[in-house]
């Protein structure tokens, strides 16, 4: 018989509502400005930032310097623009019927 | 007793063509230093090179591609027809697979990038030495070390109009190309598709590209990649009793895969295409540094999948990105990840349709 472990926690607790907002990061991945709601955990934003920065950096190394990128998840669209090493990242929840 | 006087072997003559005067000076000195016996002439334009070739006999032509008025491809196309014995080398700063394929389709002996290191310079000099040696050797003059499928693909991809003469022993066959389409083939008493299939059965021989015959009646109507696939099936059924592919068949299958990729790359708006997976070699068309781009493609798609899992966002869709020049799409397709380079001018709906069509075709 298994026991429920009430103390086990996820790495990040996700908000019920997906965030709408924009944040900018510098080339070190530090968030310098944000319009994200307080309910959206900072570690989640940092994880997104790190993923985006690595993608831009490796693209440059592959001689394919990107100016922007968009990734669609079932419920969230992440759009990022390169800012000379840093980036500005837009998070937008997707509604049904959106491409 | 009078000594028999042997005729002295004439000094090898090299013609170096490039619109960069400084490059001509440096490479002329380099070639003379390496082989003081040789005579090196230079030309700054395609017209001047053709005039020199008309006036004198040369052994090797080294030609740049990017030149004003008459570019390297035009010079080489004329040289291939008018001076078939002349050994030709492309020496260019343009690192592009399509240029390489086009140059080999014209019939150049070697395609090299301009050396940037002492090792590359040494390689260049060794290649010249080999070409000078080869120009005095006897034997068939053709497109060496390439399979027949390679040659046919090169002709098709470079949209050539030509006749490919293939010889194997006493057998001879001809394949007619018109603007990159295979329009007819003949060997012995066979014509059309049957002749083409018979010619492709030959595993070795010599090739020669002859001038086009525009009046040739069309007897083959399939697209070249379809024709190659059908022929491969026929050959497999007739030749492969065992379940395993022989070395030649494996090479053939690889060539057909490349043909499929190249065919996809011909879709309107496509600038490059690359398919990669952890296990298989990278397949690409029009990508300068395929291995690096492949690695980036795999990592990026993996990274966004991981982000989706970590934040419980679900499965990531395509990664739509852009550079200053083009759109770049990364998408999973079966066990492979595809990286597409598309023209930036495509409208969003056009872009979506093009990507979907390409992925469907690739999956099929």
Mean pLDDT of successive 10-residue segments in chain B (364 residues)? Answer: 50 90 89 81 89 89 85 84 82 79 77 83 82 54 58 77 78 86 86 85 72 86 78 65 45 58 76 86 82 93 91 86 92 86 87 83 70
Q: Flag whether residue A79 sits within 8 Å of chain B, measured between CB atoms.
A: no
Interface contact flag, A68 B313, Cβ < 8 Å: no
Q: DSSP string spanning B289-326?
A: THHHHHHHHHHHHHHHHHHHHHTT------EEEE-SSE
Which DSSP category does A84 fall into? Answer: B
Sign of the Cα pseudo-torsion (B15, B21, B26, B29, in order) = positive
State the CB neighbour count (10 A cutoff) for residue B165: 15
Interface contact flag, B307 A64, Cβ < 8 Å: no
**Would you state the pLDDT for residue A45?**
92
B117: three-class secondary structure by DSSP? coil
In whole angstroms, give the CA distance from residue B236 to residue B230: 10
Interface contact flag, A69 B319, Cβ < 8 Å: yes
Chain B residues near residue A14 by CB distance under 8 angstroms: 311-312
- Contact between A92 and A99 under an 8 Å Cβ cutoff? The reply is no
Q: Which of B271, B289, B307 is best to mutate for the A interface (most A CBs within 10 A)?
A: B307
A54-99: pLDDT as tens digits = 999 999 999 899 999 999 988 889 999 999 889 999 999 876 445 4
- Contact between B19 and B64 under an 8 Å Cβ cutoff? The reply is yes
In whole angstroms, give the CA distance from residue B105 to residue B155: 6
> Shortest Cα distance from B293 to chain A (angstroms)?
6
**Would you state the pLDDT for residue B364?**
63
In whole angstroms, give the CA distance from residue B364 to residue B360: 6
**Would you state the pLDDT for residue A95?**
61
B113: three-class secondary structure by DSSP? strand
Q: DSSP string spanning B27-39?
A: HHHHHHHH-TTSE
Give this complex's ipTM: 0.84
> Shortest Cα distance from A1 to chain B (angstroms)?
28
- Contact between B211 and B245 under an 8 Å Cβ cutoff? The reply is no
The residue with tokens 């499929």 is: B260
- Contact between B143 and B207 under an 8 Å Cβ cutoff? The reply is yes
**Residue B91's closest CA among B78, B83, B81, B75?**
B75
């Amino acid at each position: 018989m298994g026991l429920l472990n009430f103390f086990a926690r996820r790495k990040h607790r996700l908000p019920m509502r997906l965030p709408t907002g924009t944040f900018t990061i510098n080339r070190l991945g530090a968030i310098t400005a944000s319009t994200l709601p307080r309910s959206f955990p900072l570690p989640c934003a940092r994880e997104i930032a790190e993923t985006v920065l690595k993608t831009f950096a490796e693209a440059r190394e592959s001689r394919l310097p990107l100016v922007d990128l968009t990734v669609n998840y079932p419920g969230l669209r992440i759009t990022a623009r390169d800012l000379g090493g840093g980036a500005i990242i837009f998070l937008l929840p997707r509604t049904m019927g959106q491409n | 007793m009078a000594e028999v006087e042997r005729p002295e072997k004439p000094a090898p003559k090299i013609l170096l063509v490039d619109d960069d005067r400084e490059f001509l000076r440096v490479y002329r000195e380099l070639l003379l230093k390496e082989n003081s016996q040789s005579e090196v002439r230079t030309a700054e334009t395609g017209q001047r090179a053709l005039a020199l070739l008309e006036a004198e006999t040369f052994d090797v032509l080294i030609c740049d591609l990017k030149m004003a008025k008459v570019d390297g491809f035009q010079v080489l196309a004329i040289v291939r027809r008018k001076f078939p014995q002349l050994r030709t080398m492309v020496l260019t700063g343009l690192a592009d697979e399509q240029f390489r394929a086009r140059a080999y389709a014209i019939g150049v002996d070697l395609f090299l990038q301009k050396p940037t290191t002492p090792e590359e310079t040494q390689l260049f000099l060794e290649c010249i030495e080999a070409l000078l040696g080869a120009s005095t050797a006897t034997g068939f003059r053709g497109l060496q070390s390439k399979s027949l499928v390679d040659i046919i693909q090169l002709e098709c991809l470079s949209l050539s109009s030509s006749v490919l003469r293939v010889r194997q022993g006493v057998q001879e066959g001809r394949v007619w190309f018109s603007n990159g389409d295979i329009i007819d083939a003949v060997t012995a008493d066979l014509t059309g598709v049957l002749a083409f299939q018979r010619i492709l059965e030959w595993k070795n021989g010599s090739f020669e590209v002859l001038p086009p015959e525009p009046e040739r009646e069309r007897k083959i109507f399939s697209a070249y990649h379809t024709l190659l696939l059908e022929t491969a099936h026929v050959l497999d059924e007739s030749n492969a009793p065992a379940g395993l592919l022989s070395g030649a068949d494996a090479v053939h299958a690889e060539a057909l895969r490349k043909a499929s990729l190249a065919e996809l790359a011909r879709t309107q708006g496509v600038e490059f295409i690359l398919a990669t997976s952890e296990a298989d070699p990278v397949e690409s068309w029009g990508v300068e540094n395929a291995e690096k781009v492949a690695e980036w493609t795999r990592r990026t798609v993996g990274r966004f999948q991981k982000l989706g899992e970590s934040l419980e966002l679900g499965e990531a869709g395509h990664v739509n990105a852009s550079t200053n020049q083009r759109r770049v799409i990364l998408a999973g397709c079966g066990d492979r990840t595809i990286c597409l380079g598309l023209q930036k001018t495509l409208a969003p709906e056009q872009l979506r349709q093009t990507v979907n069509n390409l992925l469907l075709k690739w999956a099929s």
